[in-house]
Amino acid sequence: MAQNGKLAADLVQKLERDIVTGILKPGDKLDERSLSERFGVSRTPVREALQTLAGSGLVATMPRRGTIVASITVAELIEMFEVMAELEAMCARLAARRMPRADIENLIALSEECSALQGHADADAYYEANVRFHEAIYAGCRNSFLERQTKNVRNRLAPYRRLQLHRPGRVKKSNNEHAEILSAISNGEADVAGKLMQQHVAVQGEALNDLLAIVPRGYLEPLAS
Amino acid sequence: MAQNGKLAADLVQKLERDIVTGILKPGDKLDERSLSERFGVSRTPVREALQTLAGSGLVATMPRRGTIVASITVAELIEMFEVMAELEAMCARLAARRMPRADIENLIALSEECSALQGHADADAYYEANVRFHEAIYAGCRNSFLERQTKNVRNRLAPYRRLQLHRPGRVKKSNNEHAEILSAISNGEADVAGKLMQQHVAVQGEALNDLLAIVPRGYLEPLAS
DNA sequence: AACGCATTTCTGGTATACAAAATTGCATAG
DNA sequence: CTATGCAATTTTGTATACCAGAAATGCGTT
């Protein structure tokens, strides 16, 4: 997609990984000089990388004020989850119609992987398995543009989605929903799969309040923006 | 969003406009030096601008091979229209639920503007009115993230959508569909509005063949990519 | 002691210079 | 006459130097 030079491309990947995995948190400052020293390159590729990341929305740069890991407002968080739910629903609908049998078998395996990690102490392990399950469905929609678009929004929401796991009972409920979605896809029930996925991903009602309650300070912009 | 320096931001706007309005066509080469001379700036802001445009997908840059106005494959074209239809459908669904009365009045005016330009000689005039009608619905969904996302995909499809108008009979059919969509939104029938919009935007069956038939060479990448 | 203004310093924005890679054209050989 | 390979030129990628604007700090005044 956004192919820059080799150095810049490397930086994009590294920074992206650090943001998505939570090493870099929303609001963290990304100083050009320190980054260039840390990676042993000049400021130019660093700027190109930040530019690319700004394009995909993972970082925000204010003119003359520097670049930070994107932190969003509560309103944007709600908006993005609303869109995310609908994008994933579309993936599920299309997957129900298009996913080959072999890939569905694989999806079953990924679902079982999630179940196996249900009570696991390491929340990250479940998170990763969960990501693989969802990505398998993205791939199943057989629309690589939709797949990229969906992954992009998911990346931007990653810091916030990660928080949801820590809510007690969430993992078990999530697994049950996976099973239902899987069944709908397997039976080719497109609309059912879409609706279930939409509800699975959407954050509404109490769940939204719970999420907002555990978002650390700095993850969200103050109201005065 | 992607706030770069003043010069770069200007360039982004200008180039974006030229691409969306068709002055720059898919496959056109964007030489850094000529652009910098033409706009009277150095290569740095030009590169930043191209970087940003690459992020939004309007241009494609291959390492050491330069930047061109993005030209897509037939497969991508189909994929993008599929997603576009669904994004606009979501806008319409939400607009049916959330659009204030005053804005609906405005939407009616825009619809009439489209109708008035139906037989007009200047196809571009209708195209612009059509864009305003659709954008009013994007705004009506009251989800600015969805609005941005939808506009982004529409921009990328602009060079191809523009071609559709030239198909005889299309404009009249389009106007009838507008009226139906408008009515559904006005009555708060979310699912109906969504379904109608999805069908209005989707390019399928014969319409797809017609579109592909009039796409000029260079607008689509050769199969060997 | 506190508030406001000026100066300094730090960081981002722009320009330019340099290096590396790719394309193109010419020359030579088959 | 054509094809292949080498060289020259063009163009991108990276580094560095310079400039401008914003934040921070310190001094003076009230």
Q: What is d(CA A102, CA A107) in angstroms, rounded to the nearest whole number?
A: 9
Q: Which 26-55 residues of chain A approach strand D with CB closer than 7 Å?
A: 41-45, 48
**Chain B residues near residue A62 by CB distance under 8 angstroms:** 3
My answer on whether A31 and A51 are in the same domain is yes
CATH label of the domain that carries residue B49:
1.10.10.10
* Domain boundaries, position A38: 6-69
What's the pLDDT band for A224 if we cut at 50, 70, 90?
A: very low
* B224 lies in some domain: no
My answer on whether B105 and B143 are in the same domain is yes
- Strand D reaches within 7 A of the A68 CB: no
* Both structure tokens of B197: 């919009």
Distance in Å from D12's C1' to B16's CA comes to 22
Bin B122: left if φ > 0, else alpha if -120 < ψ < 50, else beta.
Answer: beta
* B221 lies in some domain: no
**Chain B residues near residue A79 by CB distance under 8 angstroms:** 143-146
Q: Which residue of B has its CA nearest to A75?
A: B143
Helices (runs of H) and strands (runs of E) counted in chain A: 10, 3
End-of-domain residue from the set A41, A69, A97: A69
Q: What is d(CA B178, CA B176) in angstroms, rounded to the nearest whole number?
A: 5
Cβ pair B198, B87 in contact under 8 A: no
> A105-153, pLDDT tens digit by residue?
999 999 999 999 987 778 788 999 999 999 999 999 999 999 999 999 9
CA distances from A133 to A15, A102, A128 (A): 24, 15, 9
End-of-domain residue from the set B48, B69, B90: B69
pLDDT at site A206: 86
Q: Which DSSP state fits B111? A: H
* B165 lies in some domain: yes
Indicate yes or no: CB of A61 within 8 angstroms of CB of B6. Answer: no
My answer on whether A37 and A85 are in the same domain is no
* A222 lies in some domain: no
Checking each nucleotide's C1' against the CA of A61, the nearest proves to be: C12
In the predicted model, what is the mean pLDDT of chain A?
A: 91
**Chain A residues near residue B48 by CB distance under 8 angstroms:** 47-48, 51
Q: What is d(CA B97, CA B80) in angstroms, rounded to the nearest whole number?
A: 26
My answer on whether A210 and A155 are in the same domain is yes
Q: What is d(CA B11, CA B133) in angstroms, rounded to the nearest whole number?
A: 27
My answer on whether B81 and B64 are in the same domain is no
* B219 lies in some domain: no
pLDDT at site A225: 35
Here the ipTM equals 0.92
* A220 lies in some domain: no
CATH label of the domain that carries residue A192:
1.20.120.530
My answer on whether B205 and B159 are in the same domain is yes
Q: What is d(CA B142, CA B124) in angstroms, rounded to the nearest whole number?
A: 28
My answer on whether B123 and B104 are in the same domain is yes
Q: Say which of A1, A5, A80 has its CB closest to residue B145.
A: A80
**Chain A residues near residue B4 by CB distance under 8 angstroms:** 51, 54, 61, 63
pLDDT at site B1: 47
What order of strands is seen across the sheet that includes strand A29-30? A29-30, A66-69, A59-62
Indicate yes or no: CB of B1 within 8 angstroms of CB of A57. Answer: yes
Q: Which residue of B has its CA nearest to A77?
A: B145
What is the percent of chain A where pLDDT is above 70? 96
Indicate yes or no: CB of A55 within 8 angstroms of CB of B2. Answer: yes
My answer on whether B140 and B112 are in the same domain is yes
My answer on whether B35 and B115 are in the same domain is no
My answer on whether A60 and A85 are in the same domain is no
Q: Say which of A62, A83, A90 has its CB closest to residue B3.
A: A62
From first to last of its 225 residues, what are the pLDDT tens digits of chain B? 455 667 888 899 999 999 999 999 998 999 999 999 999 999 999 999 999 899 889 999 988 888 999 989 999 999 999 999 999 999 999 999 999 999 999 999 999 999 999 877 787 888 999 999 999 999 999 999 999 999 999 999 999 988 887 777 888 999 999 999 999 999 999 999 999 999 999 998 788 988 989 888 778 876 543
CA distance A65 to chain B (A): 10
**Closest alpha carbon to B42 in B67, B3, B5, B2:** B5
My answer on whether B87 and B174 are in the same domain is yes
Positive or negative, the CA dihedral A179, A185, A186, A192 is positive
* Both structure tokens of A205: 């009602």
Q: What is d(CA B169, CA B171) in angstroms, rounded to the nearest whole number?
A: 6
* A104 lies in some domain: yes
Q: How many domains does chain A have?
A: 2
* Both structure tokens of A22: 């939570």
My answer on whether A47 and A90 are in the same domain is no
End-of-domain residue from the set A24, A44, A69: A69
* A223 lies in some domain: no
- Strand D reaches within 7 A of the A64 CB: yes
Secondary structure element (H or E) that encloses residue B75, with its range: helix B74-98
